Structure 1
Amino acid sequence: MSIFKRTDDSGVARGERALVVVPERVGAGGLRSLDARIDEAVGLAQAIGVDVIGKKSFRLRQVRPASLFGKGQVEEIAALAERYDATLLVVDAGLTPVQQKTLEDETRCKVIDRTGLILEIFGERAATAEGRLQVELAHLDYQAGRLVRSWTHLERQRGGFGFLGGPGETQIEADRRLIRDRMARIRKELDQVRRTRGLHRGRRQRAPWPIIALVGYTNAGKSTLFNRMTQASVMAENLLFATLDPTMRNVKIPGFDRAILSDTVGFVSNLPTELVAAFRATLEEVAASDLILHVHDIAHPDSDAQAADVEAVLSTLGLAEEDSPPRIEVWNKLDLLDTGERNELLGEAERREDVAAVSALTGEGVDDLRETISHLLHSGAQTHHIRLNAGDGERIAWLHARGEVLEQQSDGDQLQLAVKLSPENWARFERL
């Protein structure tokens, strides 16, 4: 069921006839092409099951506070909506409540902006209790700003009777208070989730195996790669935001008895700030990993722009490249390239230690990716001379599992070991 229910109970229903409009700011520039923006906007709309029956871009010389678009453009949009018999207008931009209300009045369609659309998708896809809480918090945060001059029926006053509302309290004030109270309760629940997740993360960090996090633009093929490497069956479809809830599985990496691979939510350009904040607890898993695999859809015409968007979101989480765990760029979807492009990319990948070119769909290059992961996890390793009690079987086994034991000598009830460990594993061993 859709969570995108506005206060007047008009929601977005599957099968609605939608017109998608994409504003193009004159002089805005950027890495992303207009065609790619239009295709992505259509994909986002289709991801919630609406029937996209028309799409058009409009050049904006200036943003109109009341309607975003110019008067003539609004009239053209209204005419298109009438011609296509559209019931929903999807605007690939953030709209103020006033702009949304104006467009609804002029086009006689329900209007949903980019933020609302992404929230709608997240609401449909969240499968766990934590995911649903995160989405609801983001939705309420977004909705709280929509209670200003948007729906006039909310301006009527309540009396002093009843369970809610003091004398003269308006309906809009009551609704705001309800939203604030609900957000406070959700934040409290998510704080508990964050503490529990932190305890689990601490336990994993003391365990003798590395954690590898998959990140990337939505639909870059992360879940397909996850399934290929772990023999799992995580939902992996040609859909935007096919995966929302983080999943962890064992993965085989050369030189390690065991490793953990974590699949995370896909990123998107202009990801709503409400969602970044709400999913912070989940995305903290990325910061706690030993290695990040940044999956690129290398066959996408806007692959570079998508990669830049992912890096921008990681930076907002305090994961700028220089401050985060080491990362590997995984150039995925080799199977979609022609022979010339493919050979060129394979040659470039071979020259770089932090790049692996793969096809998660066919399995090509995945074994080489495992070797690259192993090499990077072992890089920077130093030899440490360690003295332990011979009966300390747990820590001795830990060193054999996580490091390369170069020498081991018994001295009575003491054991002397020379062990090669990565900096991360040495820090873990010191915490044991």
Structure 2
Amino acid sequence: MIFGNDDVAGEVTRGARALVVCPDIRGQRSGQDPEARLEEARGLAMAIGIVVAESYILPVRTLRPNTLFGEGQVQRMATDCELHEAELVIVDGALSPIQQRNLEDKLKRKVIDRTGLILEIFGERAATAEGRLQVELAHLDYQQSRLVRSWTHLERQRGGFGFLGGPGETQIEADRRMIRARMGKLRRELEQVRKTRELHRKRRGRAPWPVIALVGYTNAGKSTLFNRVTGAEVMAEDLLFATLDPTMRAISMPGVEKAILSDTVGFISDLPTQLVAAFRATLEEVTAADIILHVRDMANPDSAMQKAQVMRVLADLGVTAEDEGEGSIPIIEVWNKVDLLDEERREELAEQARATPDVVVISALTGEGIDALFAQLGERLTKGARLHHFAIPAGEGGHIAWLYAHGDVVADEAPGDGETREIAVRLSEKDLGRFAAMRH
């Protein structure tokens, strides 16, 4: 463990038993059902390999600055830790450094809060050099106000950052200058990553292929859908944050010979502010998309809350609803996991989808509804096409083939000596721009 009470002994690793406590604070989080939030907290714990020995909701009517919880509640937690042999206590909320230390004093166990747990998951799952940079920056930002007991994470190449224990438990004095220097270096490296991504996006903007971004609440089924339509093998498990690093693959659909599909990190309620900032470079991929596919888990009772959370994050990124000015990107809602619903609920959703524009009902797992999704994507990508006339040298066969692949060619003639082809074709504004970029 990197920060916490020196008197808390033992090392907590994957497979450790934990007590998960979800504080239901009066006046907060009214948009999410406490039971659903507790289930999400359990999922977060299991995503990092922790065994949930016991879990429950604790109502908090008055915030205690020293421990968050009342004395009776802290005593209950201590008793349950003994009863269920829990080595770790996870509080699904934000704890101040003082609250964390005092709880460890009273419970004689390691205590981590929601932010620490999510950072640990991200640290373990980040697969690319960029992902590791982003997670380390977020971790250091969070750690600045905590007691630092190990700096081994700065040299370690593996994922994870030791919130749950690891090598190098020797306590050393926190060196804030070291943190600031390291954070400055990471920010410079990430700024370079951002610039590189911007260059790649500009190249894709000149390329003849539209970009489709998958977004959604964590565990909504984005990666399963990605694998279904691309044949890729992106990690897709029933785990929160199974995907952290963006992945892109080429796909084709009616009227569109080739498009780029991008899988992104899942969103979650109360995502640590450090991670929102650190992962901005990754999420910026969404802002360059031609279409956003918002994948929703319709088998989850909190699906409406999850949708609201995703839309808030998109708004923070500057993505607005279609026809709302600059930054607007068409969004298609993909109602996923209908294979988990009973027949009555499936029919109800199908009826709602028929009456709602830009909604498709699917099961990414079974493939149900994928053809309808592709048809709607093709229709959206070619929407607003207008008739354009081009005189193209007959030798530019690649350009002529591109017009046939991406537009609706209504006339193709070779007058005179046959050295020029006069083509009338319907193209969308974006495809017109791509075609113009290709020819220059």
Q: Is the TM-score greater than 0.5?
A: yes
Alignment match of 1:367 (pick from 366, 371, 374): 371
Partner Cα distance (1:387, 1:277) in 2: 48
Q: Which residue of 2 aligns with 1:50?
A: 50
- Sort the Cα spacing of 1:255 and 1:381 in 2 relative to 1 into closer, same or farther, 3 A: same
Q: Which residue of 2 aligns with 1:6?
A: 3
Deviation string 1:106-156 (CA, Å, 9 cap, x unpaired) is: 111111111110110111111111111111111111111224xx88xxxxx
Matched, 1:332 2:319: no
Conserved? CA contact 1:380–1:423, under 8 Å: yes
Partner Cα distance (2:11, 2:177) in 1: 22
Q: Which residue of 1 aligns with 2:434?
A: 428
Partner Cα distance (2:429, 2:104) in 1: 58
Amino acid at match of 2:435: F
Q: Which residue of 2 aligns with 1:214?
A: 214
Q: Which residue of 2 aligns with 1:122?
A: 122
User: Any idea what SS the aligned residue of 1:99 has?
Assistant: helix
Deviation string 1:37-78 (CA, Å, 9 cap, x unpaired) is: 111101101111111101121111122222111222222222
User: Any idea what SS the aligned residue of 1:252 has?
Assistant: strand
Conserved? CA contact 1:290–1:326, under 8 Å: yes
Partner Cα distance (1:398, 1:62) in 2: 65
Partner Cα distance (2:387, 2:282) in 1: 35
Amino acid at match of 1:380: G
Partner Cα distance (2:12, 2:187) in 1: 26
Amino acid at match of 1:36: A
Identical amino acids, percent of aligned pairs? 58
Alignment match of 2:348 (pick from 340, 344, 362): 344
Map 1:181-192 onto structure 2 (within 5 A): 181-192=181-192
Q: Which residue of 2 aligns with 1:296?
A: 296
Q: Which residue of 1 aligns with 2:97?
A: 97
Amino acid at match of 1:332: N
Q: Which residue of 1 aligns with 2:386?
A: 382
Q: Which residue of 1 aligns with 2:155?
A: none
Q: Which residue of 2 aligns with 1:112?
A: 112
Q: Which residue of 2 aligns with 1:248?
A: 248
- Report the CA distance between 1:419 and its aligned residue: 2.3
User: Any idea what SS the aligned residue of 2:132 has?
Assistant: helix
Q: TM-score, normalised by structure 1?
A: 0.89
Matched, 1:239 2:239: yes
Structure 1: state its 5+ residue gaps: 152-170
Deviation string 1:331-378 (CA, Å, 9 cap, x unpaired) is: 001100101000111111122230000011111111111001111111
Q: Which residue of 2 aligns with 1:175?
A: 175
- Report the CA distance between 1:10 and its aligned residue: 8.0
- Sort the Cα spacing of 1:254 and 1:12 in 2 relative to 1 into closer, same or farther, 3 A: farther
Partner Cα distance (2:376, 2:188) in 1: 41
**Which stretch of the first structure deviates more once superposed, 58-67 or 118-127?**
58-67
Conserved? CA contact 2:12–2:87, under 8 Å: no
- Report the CA distance between 1:395 and its aligned residue: 4.0
User: Any idea what SS the aligned residue of 1:52 has?
Assistant: strand
Conserved? CA contact 1:399–1:419, under 8 Å: yes
Conserved? CA contact 2:294–2:331, under 8 Å: yes
Q: Which residue of 2 aligns with 1:70?
A: 70
Q: TM-score, normalised by structure 2?
A: 0.87
Conserved? CA contact 2:363–2:369, under 8 Å: yes
Conserved? CA contact 1:353–1:372, under 8 Å: no
Structure 2: state its 5+ residue gaps: 150-171
Q: Which residue of 2 aligns with 1:355?
A: 359
Partner Cα distance (2:409, 2:198) in 1: 31
Conserved? CA contact 1:97–1:146, under 8 Å: yes
Q: Which residue of 2 aligns with 1:164?
A: none
Conserved? CA contact 2:236–2:242, under 8 Å: yes
Partner Cα distance (2:3, 2:29) in 1: 34
Partner Cα distance (1:309, 1:272) in 2: 13
Deviation string 1:196-226 (CA, Å, 9 cap, x unpaired) is: 2222222222111111111111111111111
- Report the CA distance between 1:26 and its aligned residue: 2.0
Deviation string 1:139-174 (CA, Å, 9 cap, x unpaired) is: 111111224xx88xxxxxxxxxxxxxxxxxxx75x6
Map 1:115-154 onto structure 2 (within 5 A): 115-147=115-147
Partner Cα distance (2:364, 2:74) in 1: 44
Q: Which residue of 2 aligns with 1:225?
A: 225
Deviation string 1:379-408 (CA, Å, 9 cap, x unpaired) is: 122222334455445544443332222223
User: Any idea what SS the aligned residue of 1:386 has?
Assistant: strand
Partner Cα distance (2:381, 2:396) in 1: 26
Amino acid at match of 2:329: P
User: Any idea what SS the aligned residue of 1:285 has?
Assistant: helix
- Report the CA distance between 1:410 and its aligned residue: 3.9
Partner Cα distance (1:79, 1:114) in 2: 22
- Sort the Cα spacing of 1:197 and 1:27 in 2 relative to 1 into closer, same or farther, 3 A: closer
Q: Which residue of 1 aligns with 2:200?
A: 200
Map 1:269-284 onto structure 2 (within 5 A): 269-284=269-284
- Report the CA distance between 1:86 and its aligned residue: 1.7
User: Any idea what SS the aligned residue of 2:257 has?
Assistant: coil
User: Any idea what SS the aligned residue of 2:360 has?
Assistant: strand
Conserved? CA contact 2:94–2:114, under 8 Å: yes
Conserved? CA contact 1:208–1:401, under 8 Å: no
What is the count of residue pairs matched by the alignment?
407
Conserved? CA contact 1:256–1:401, under 8 Å: yes
Conserved? CA contact 1:247–1:263, under 8 Å: yes
Alignment match of 1:402 (pick from 403, 406, 409): 406
Amino acid at match of 2:3: R
Conserved? CA contact 2:320–2:329, under 8 Å: no
